[in-house]
């Protein structure tokens, strides 16, 4: 069966919550029994998000099948509670790569290869493919960036053609910012009107407008937007600031967005509407016990860099009825033993990362947690540096390090293992995606997961050096999970309240109603809930 398409564009500014709106709509339609999928289209030339600095683009989200994608795919997974794949993130880089590959193969022999039709055809075929992979009845296609960006034009042209090819089967939703002037209490709709004009200039008439503002839209602004954008007032929706993005589905549901979409696309839902995030949000608000968690990393100035970890803590918080209070700590600031800021933390997470900046600060944070018996979770780089810290300060291996930072270290406790990683080039060459982990029976990790076989998603290049495993274990740092081919996946420290290192990123699989077992166990230990680690309930 052919899918219907909802194309979501953005206007005025980027980061106005298009991803959250798309994900919310996905959730509402899915809950009505429709098979849905979501596609993020990113007009940049990078083939994937893997080589981008988190400061510029926020977190790189990793799917089960190991694609390094835009963080919006994380929103889609968390809100709609479905797995994304490499087909769900289309970039200009992927499209051009494919077009040029076909040209070299002689697939367009004799023709001049052009944006229209060759690039636009490729875009359409990638969108259809993503939809077919899920056998979707409804496919939500979010176009990254803002209308008017030069890179976005071929993509807008492609979706314009999709409408032409299937008049009844495609609708356009435009999400744009409406500025709120505090001084006068006015909502300024002019930039939104201009962004719609820009869309119409290229042949796209939005069916639905979502005005994103600090405050709810008043009737006069709604009427004005409707008039100037050629949309009926009942098709103008308001998305306003709330303390948690999980509230956005409720906001849109209350205004009936899903019903308008269903009637426009003539869909036949199976169920009455439901919104499982509603009770999640009320639980989130009602939990009163606060637990202070320090997150130590290198990209902490942009909170979006670690969005899945922050969310995993919130999901675990709701399940445990505690409220994680997050304190972001710049690793570099801890260097030279300036760890006072960690004093009040009830739990410490050392975050993932790359390169040498802030590494000694992260190691200080591990040491603090280990020596002061503060619950500790090291994720990926945080795990590797916990191994380094242990080697140096417990095993007394002076100068122990990861070869990522010190290629000449006398004790390369973390290093690239020949044969395990393709080391040529940077794009897509890490250990990526979901892999099976064998958990040691009777370990803390075993209690946490309640299983000896689990899968978590990976994104790293360096591994614990097998030559040091025996020494680490003799010193008390137990290996409690290994990959199929024996690589170290989890470690835990004997005799500590909670000290776990994780090579994979369990946060990628955490969802509001299925929190990650590791994050739950860590948060439970931080909040001093008893029994500390037997919290595997509710996990997937
Ligand atoms: N830099 C480390 C590696 O490549 C850790 C990566 C990470 O934290 N995601 O192995």
Q: What 3 state SS string does 175-192 have?
A: EEECEEECCCCEEECHHH
In the reported structure, the alpha carbon of residue 531 is separated from the centroid of ligand 1 by a whole-number distance in angstroms of 32
Torsion of CA 17, 22, 24, 28, to 10 degrees: 160
Q: Which atom of ligand 1 is nearest to the CA of 463?
A: 10
Bridge partners (DSSP) of residue 378 are 350, 501
d(CA 360, CA 335): 6
pLDDT value, residue 15: 74
Q: Distance, CA 352 to ligand 1 centroid (Å)?
A: 6
**CB proximity list for 179: less than 8 A, separation 6 or greater:** 187, 188, 191, 213
Whose alpha carbon is nearest atom 6 of ligand 1? 460
Alpha-carbon torsion, ordered 322, 328, 334, 340, to 10 deg: -50
For atom 1 of ligand 1, the residue with the nearest CA is 354
Angle formed at CA 413 by CA 407 and CA 417, multiple of 5 degrees: 70
Question: What's the pLDDT score for residue 422?
Answer: 54
Q: Tell me, what's the pLDDT at 537?
A: 44
Q: CA torsion, points 387, 392, 394, 395, in degrees to nearest 10?
A: 90
Q: Determine the residue of 62, 331, 354 to mutate for testing ligand 1's pocket, defined as the one with the most ligand atoms within 8 A of the Cβ atom.
A: 354
Say if CB 399 and CB 522 are below 8 A apart. Answer: no
Which residue's alpha carbon is at the smallest distance from atom 5 of ligand 1? 381
Q: Please give the Cα distance from 362 to 294 (Å, whole number).
A: 12
Q: Which of 353, 457, 503 most suits a substitution to test ligand 1, by most atoms within 8 Å of the C-beta?
A: 353
Sign of the torsion formed by the C-alpha atoms of 150, 155, 158 and 162: negative
pLDDT in tens, 210-261: 999 999 999 999 999 999 999 999 999 999 999 999 999 999 999 999 999 9
Distances (CA, A) of 397 to 166, 412, 465, 467, 493: 67, 10, 14, 13, 18
Start-to-end C-alpha separation, the chain: 31
pLDDT digits (tens, 9 = 90+) for 111-128: 999 999 999 999 999 999
Whole-angstrom CA distances from 383 to 370, 387, 504 are 13, 6, 9
Find the catalytic residue in 118, 380, 456, 489. 380
Token duo for residue 338: 């300036």
SS3 209: strand
pLDDT tens track, the chain, 540 positions: 799 999 999 988 877 789 999 999 999 999 999 999 999 999 988 888 887 877 677 899 999 999 999 999 999 999 999 999 999 999 999 999 999 999 999 999 999 999 999 999 999 999 999 999 999 999 999 999 999 899 999 999 999 999 999 999 999 999 999 988 888 888 898 999 999 999 999 999 999 999 999 999 999 999 999 999 999 999 999 999 999 999 999 999 999 999 999 999 999 988 888 999 999 999 999 988 999 999 999 888 777 889 999 999 999 999 999 999 999 999 999 998 899 999 999 999 999 999 999 999 999 999 999 999 999 999 999 999 999 999 999 999 999 999 999 999 999 999 998 766 655 667 777 899 999 999 999 999 999 999 999 999 999 999 999 999 999 999 999 999 999 999 999 999 989 999 999 999 999 999 999 999 999 999 999 999 965 445 444 444
pTM value is 0.94
Residue list, ligand 1 pocket, CB within 6 Å: 352-354, 380-381, 384, 404, 459-462
Task: Give the Å distance between the CA of 331 and the centre of ligand 1.
Answer: 16
Ligand 1: centre distance to CA 414 (Å): 11
Instruction: From the CA of 430, give the closest atom in ligand 1.
Output: 4
Six token digits for residue 161: 């053609």
Rounded to whole angstroms, the Cα distance separating 520 from 389 reads 25
Active site residue 59: no
- 507 given a catalytic annotation: yes
**Cα separation of 499 and 355, whole Å?**
24
Delineate the domains of the chain, giving CATH numbers in brackets: 4-279 (3.40.50.300), 287-536 (3.40.50.880)
Q: How far apart are CA 276 and CA 151, in angstroms?
A: 37
Atom of ligand 1 nearest to the CA of 459: 9
The strand pairing partners of 376, in sequence order, are 348, 499
Set 247, 492, 507, 532: catalytic member: 507
Q: Running DSSP on this structure, what letter comes out for residue 123?
A: H
- Quote the CA–CA distance of 50 and 430 in Å, as a whole number: 9
Q: Rounded to whole angstroms, how far apart are CA atoms 508 and 433?
A: 10
505 is catalytic: yes
Residue 394 is encoded by which pair of tokens?
């417990």
């Amino acid at each position: 069966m052919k899918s219907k398409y909802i194309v979501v564009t953005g206007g005025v500014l980027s980061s106005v919550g298009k991803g959250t709106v798309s994900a919310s709509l996905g959730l509402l339609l899915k809950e009505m029994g429709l098979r849905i999928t979501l596609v993020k289209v990113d007009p940049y030339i990078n083939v994937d998000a893997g080589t981008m600095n988190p400061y510029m683009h926020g977190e790189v989200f990793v799917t089960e099948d190991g694609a390094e994608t835009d963080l919006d795919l994380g929103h889609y997974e968390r809100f709609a509670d479905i797995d994304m794949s490499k087909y769900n993130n289309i970039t200009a880089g992927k499209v051009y790569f494919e077009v040029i590959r076909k040209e070299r193969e002689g697939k367009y022999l004799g023709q001049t290869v052009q944006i229209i039709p060759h690039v636009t055809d490729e875009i359409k075929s990638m969108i259809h493919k993503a939809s077919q992979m899920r056998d979707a009845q409804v496919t939500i296609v979010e176009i990254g960036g803002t209308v008017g960006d030069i890179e976005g034009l071929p993509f807008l042209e492609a979706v314009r053609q999709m409408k032409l090819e299937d008049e009844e089967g495609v609708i356009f939703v435009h999400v744009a910012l409406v500025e709120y002037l505090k001084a006068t209490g006015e909502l300024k709709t002019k930039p939104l009107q201009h962004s719609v004009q820009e869309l119409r200039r290229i042949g796209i008439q939005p069916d639905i407008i979502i005005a994103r503002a600090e405050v709810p839209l008043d009737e006069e602004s709604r009427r004005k937007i409707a008039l100037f954008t050629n949309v009926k007032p009942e098709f103008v929706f308001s998305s306003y600031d709330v303390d948690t993005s999980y509230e956005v589905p409720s906001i849109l549901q209350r205004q009936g967005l899903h019903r308008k979409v269903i009637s426009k696309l003539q869909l036949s839902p199976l169920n009455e509407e439901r919104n499982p995030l509603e009770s999640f949000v009320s639980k989130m608000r009602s939990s009163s016990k606060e637990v202070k968690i320090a997150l130590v990393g290198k990209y902490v100035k942009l909170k979006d860099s670690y969005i899945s970890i922050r969310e995993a803590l919130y999901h675990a918080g709701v399940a445990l009825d505690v409220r994680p209070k997050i304190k972001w700590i710049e690793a570099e600031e801890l260097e030279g033993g300036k760890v006072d800021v960690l004093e009040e933390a009830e739990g410490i997470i050392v975050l993932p990362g790359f390169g040498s900046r802030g590494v000694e600060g992260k190691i200080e944070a591990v040491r603090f947690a280990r020596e002061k018996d503060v619950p500790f979770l090291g994720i990926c780089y945080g795990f590797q540096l916990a191994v380094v810290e242990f080697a140096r300060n417990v095993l007394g291996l002076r100068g122990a390090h990861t070869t990522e930072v010190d290629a000449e270290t006398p004790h390369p406790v973390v290093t690239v293992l020949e044969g395990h990683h393709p080391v040529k080039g940077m794009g897509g060459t890490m250990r990526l995606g979901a892999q099976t982990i064998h958990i040691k029976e009777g370990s803390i990790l075993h209690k946490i997961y309640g299983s000896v076989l689990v899968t978590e998603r990976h994104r790293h290049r360096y591994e614990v050096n097998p030559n040091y495993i025996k020494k680490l274990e003799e010193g008390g740092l137990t290996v409690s999970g290994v990959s199929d081919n024996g690589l170290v996946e989890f470690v835990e420290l004997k005799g500590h309240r909670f000290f776990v290192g994780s090579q994979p990123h369990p946060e990628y699989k955490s969802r509001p109603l299925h929190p990650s077992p590791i994050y739950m166990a860590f948060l439970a230990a931080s909040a001093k809930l008893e029994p500390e680690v037997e919290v595997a309930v509710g996990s997937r």
